[in-house]
Amino acid sequence: MPQQPTTEDVTPMGEYQQLIASGVLRGDEHQTRIIQKLQDLHDKLINYNPPRIPEISQSNSILSRLFTREVQIPSSPPDTAPKGLYLYGDVGTGKTMLMDLFYKTLPSSITRKRRVHFHAFMIDVHKRIHAAKIAMGFNGGDPILPVARDLANEASVLCFDEFQVTDIADAMILRRLLESMVNFGVVCVMTSNRHPDDLYKNGIQRSSFIPAIELLKSQFAVTDLDSGTDYRRIPRALSHVYYDPLTPENASEIDKVFNSLTSADLSDPPIRKRALSTWGRTIEVPESTSKIAKFKFHDLCGQPLSAADYLEVTKNFKTIFVLDVPKMGMDSKDMTKLFVTSEVPIYKVFSDNDPAGSKPVSDHMRSVMDDLGLSGDVVGTSSMFTGEEEVFAFARACSRLVQMGSREWAEMAGQS
């Protein structure tokens, strides 16, 4: 039986109204309607009792097949399972805030839950599939079903940040993985920049991914977040998050902040050249405690690092100082593209790799370029920003950086 909700349980709508009352957020009619969708799912989850997940043997031995009773694998979602939510919208439509709010207020009856950035999730899935194949041995078998079962055992509510599909390997895995998890009774909530119909557009063998798109549209409440407002760019009191220009005085101020934060716990002093291991490689952290790290820009964006490397950095450190960010121009095009368009969770700046570059630049993108004194013609024809996806990522980076300059960000970042 599911646990009964406690009187201390906070609801999405209650938390939203409290944030408005405290002045952290401004009331917005469109966003209130979205919060109501979160509230509706919250209410359904209170009494949701996830089904028991069947055992699935990964062994292909003769004895195993002889003495193991055949397991009935569900072929459709449980009747009692609520539909998931798929929230999509452009830059600054409040996706992260909505997911924060929903996950924070999940009913106490939901004891198995997980929130993960989608890129990190797929890295985890690939590792699990590899392990499942090894366990199955030479005779082989279906590695996706046991992986889906394990994921369902770990979380009956699974929240994805920044759902996107750009890789053929991911596309081929996702169709069956999502279907199996939903059939096992997992309730998923996703944020994305694209409507399901626009996922993996122009991708190789996209026809094989179409069933996954149909699954998203049939088993999820697909909700458009766009209201014409970039919530990150609503004026807020600025904190001193950025120190500009690069002068000895500003460098000294940053050192003072770093020393102040790292001296709070005498048992955890800063050390130099800490080694982080990921995927068989070692990332060297110039200076860090167990929770706070300091890098130079070139250490992060001037090295051949991958999204998995950046995820490992953010997994280990809650606060990250980035020093000596240069003014980037055509002479540093590679670093500029990495900073703006790569999946670097340090800034939560995530790009879409939809190659459809024929669409016009949106009003939001144009407003960001106007703020920076860049014309659409210059950006659109520049060899630095050559496609719609890069212009989109450029707008996202600007919007994220504005958000990170707010007092709200400074007070809340690193607390989770």
Give the mean pLDDT of 44-65.
73
C-alpha 353/C-alpha 199 separation (Å) is: 10
The answer, yes or no, to whether residue 44 has pLDDT greater than 70, is yes
Q: What per-residue confidence (pLDDT) applies to 195?
A: 92
C-alpha 163/C-alpha 220 separation (Å) is: 13
Q: Confirm if 15 and 104 have CB atoms less than 8 A apart.
A: yes
Residue pLDDT, tens place only, 16-25: 999 888 887 7
| Residue 400 or residue 232, greater confidence | 400
- 3-state SS, residue 162: strand
Residue pLDDT, tens place only, 310-341: 778 888 888 888 888 887 665 665 666 556 54
Q: What per-residue confidence (pLDDT) applies to 155?
A: 96
The answer, yes or no, to whether residue 414 has pLDDT greater than 70, is no
C-alpha 191/C-alpha 273 separation (Å) is: 36
* Rg for the chain, CA atoms, rounded: 23
- Minimal CA–CA distance to 408: which of 100, 32, 29? 100
Alpha carbon of 97 to those of 24, 58, 186, 368: distances in Å?
11, 40, 22, 21
Residue pLDDT, tens place only, 257-289: 888 888 878 889 999 999 988 777 888 999 999
Q: What per-residue confidence (pLDDT) applies to 121?
A: 92
Q: What per-residue confidence (pLDDT) applies to 350?
A: 29
C-alpha 77/C-alpha 92 separation (Å) is: 33
Q: E-strand spans in 60-156?
A: 84-88, 113-117
| Residue 285 or residue 205, greater confidence | 285
Residue pLDDT, tens place only, 123-151: 899 999 999 998 888 777 889 999 999 99
Residue pLDDT, tens place only, 354-395: 333 444 444 444 444 444 444 444 444 444 444 555 555 666
Question: Apex CA 190: angle with CA 187 and CA 194, to 5°?
Answer: 140
- Minimal CA–CA distance to 297: which of 261, 252, 243, 253? 243
pLDDT class of 349 with cuts at 50, 70, 90: very low
| Residue 358 or residue 109, greater confidence | 109
Tell me how far apart the terminal alpha carbons of the chain are, to the nearest angstrom.
Answer: 30
